[in-house]
Structure 1
């Protein structure tokens, strides 16, 4: 029965007393029965969506591990004075929760998780992300890190310095491998974070110097193999000695060439001055062998002049003999011949023959001089090349020696820094793995929590629909409501007539 009456509070009398609990329950039951379809539809819709959401996620396997954190001196703060000393200040220990929270931040840092994803493999962990196209706004690695963080759970155990770590994945083997890799990377990362930077610096320097030293050794080895010379000083000394010998031979050849040239010039003048034909017999000329003797005297004089100075007695005597022979020939030629028989002048023939020999010797000496000059030039170029190679070898050897010394210095400093690091490590915070990454035995499903939450939300939605339906009505649903609203008794009610 619906009574559509004016519900203006100003026009109605004062309401009656509040209804009893039984009456209110009966009214709500009547409302629920009256709006049962709406309430059932709201409940069914919400719960159906909940069931659908519960069927979507697949089972996930969670691998678990735990680590024990022993706090050290890096979580102790000591105030420094202006001069840099502690000055007896009271050390302040960080709160245990804050220190462990710092450890969990290191454990869940983006760079550490990204390194784990790269080590295990993006395609193995999340193949659906790997199959996507690369997006500059959302790189694949960032998506993988975000999903890895969703599956990562790190909690601090109350009252203990223990961090409980869990990682869930659809594949149990990947869940265990990823968590194991995460622990290994975490231990290495925190060791790098809290370690002394000097050790890392020296390790980098040692590696860089070692690389340079290997390259210098390879360059020196290639240089020695390419040139095949062990002692450059000895080789250059031998070349200089050979060069000196060649210069001496070249000087001798030059002297012999000049002598041969002068002799050829003398023989040329003599041949030109000697007639081609000679009187072989004449009553007035006497012995025809006198001109030959004159030629021999001139040649003797020329030879002496090439070896001695002009005022030497031997040269002077030879010159006097030549002048005497020439005067004798001139005296004989002044008398007119009576009976004369001419023929080929043997002196001219001998002079021409000697001239040919002299020119041949001069040409041979010139060729020998050219060969000696070329050889000497090659020796000089070879000596210059060896000197350049010696300088280059010295530079390579010097660089290798300097790098060896530098490597030794850095290695000693690194060893000292490692000893100091090991001594200070005992005072630092240490992390021990209490439980390694376990193999997930059972799959954890979120269906039951989803169904429980969905059931609660469905009930709330049904009640909300009932409340809104009652609040939005402009009519009375029962005589009691009418009596409470107007303060008058209901005399009679008419049932709803079904048409």
Structure 2
């Protein structure tokens, strides 16, 4: 999209009653995006990631079509076996009379047993040797070694056995590339199976019985040795007597412990009563009292006497109508009235002394506490002794269980040994009978194969295409669910819960020609119309959400648009992520070699008359963590006095304290979100620390905007 393209359709900003813009506050501290999962997210993902999706479809589809083209005809040779219940699979009455008379058996289990023997590696190996690996599998010419094992695995995959659940029929089939190989291989497998089955059911029970008799004798001697070791370990001769003695001692200790607990309860009750009585006793008791109508330290009568003496002296020297004499008479009369009033009151004094019952009850409480502590120690000792007795009882019970188990096991082994000894003599006759019996497997149908084979070309092709569609769909859904970048302003609004202030395309061509950009003009108008605490923001910071998010171009476009909008006002661009040479060079200027004032921002003029650009602003107090807040406020105040609008381009990493402080001290913050590049979690983290630092966040500017979906699709969604 060119730089002059109009921005995407965005919701109108909110305005107050005076017509100014109202700032919105995002959800605090990383709340998840609202709106859920949209169909447009899937379509946008398909548009952005069409090459992996196409590869996910083409690879399985090509493999399926290639496999179908390469697949040849297959021939299936089949044979039917009849599984019969014979002396090999039942416990029918043997000739010696010592075996079982009747044992019921399920024919399905017999069929499955025969099937496992047929599919065993030993049978397949013998069949492959007999038929010849080079005739069944031309790619395996050698007979021995690893090639033979690979031939056995291939023959096992081609062999299929299927027992009939409603009858005693077992179907065996072998699938091979040629009809001759299928017939030859299945015949070799059946011959090897019959030979292996005959070897398996060769019975040598007499030798096994003799071995078992010797083994059981060894086990009986070992159990007798274990019985002797258990008795020695627990130091008992009569286990029942030891258990009875231990139980009696445990009961005696339990009774003593109960009596001690009763005594402890009585002591606790007495202690509680004594403490309650002690708490109820008053600290002092009545001793004596006295009453009087004289107020302590009352000087009224003495004062009256002095006033009478003064009047007598004054009456002798002055006339009766002298004012001082009248005033003295009033004072005398008032004092006499106060004396008469105070004479009516009566005062009493009561004396108390310490309660003598306190000492008696205190000594009683101390005695009961000592007795209670003694009972607790006695209970602890009784509990320890009872624990030892219980542990001894548990150990004896364990020894009794071990002895009973060992004795029971020894008795059982002796009984089995006697039975084995009795049956060993008659087993030899039964072995001869088993050798002479007929086999339990009969071949009903010899190996046969159809004249025409079958092919899986269409199935493989259709399966490859279906798998490719499924893989592409699953990959598309996975990419849509795991996509973290914002591809449209609407996605950024849902994810950040902030208004999109502008949606801008590629600004570089317009900035090279110093042409105005419509989207930037709208953003400048929005900033000028915004009122925060009743005034227009002068210091606006472009907050970074990641490297290469378009802050440079956006900041330069903003100050150019503001300079054209207000030719008489000075506009400044402060870059905190670079030294500013790029902006100066683009605007036809360069930094001069002048002395820098530590902590201040150095700005230089450009070809635009009222536009100034900073140089090495990252060395100022704006981004210096060692600068105090007062120093930063002073610098910002000077910038407000010198310029009508200051656009600050924040650094790539803005999570330090200096930038948090700056975000809270500037008038407004605008996040810069780069389309198809900014990650949602990083943008939400930047939003959270800006709001957490107390900064005013107007919204975000969307850079790198381009139309991803067609217009009719967007209107339909």
- TM-score between the two structures when normalised by the length of structure 1: 0.43
Q: Which has the larger radius of gyration?
A: 1
Which structure ranks higher in relative contact order (CA pairs < 8 Å, sequence separation ≥ 6)?
Answer: 1
Higher helix share: 1
- TM-score between the two structures when normalised by the length of structure 2: 0.31
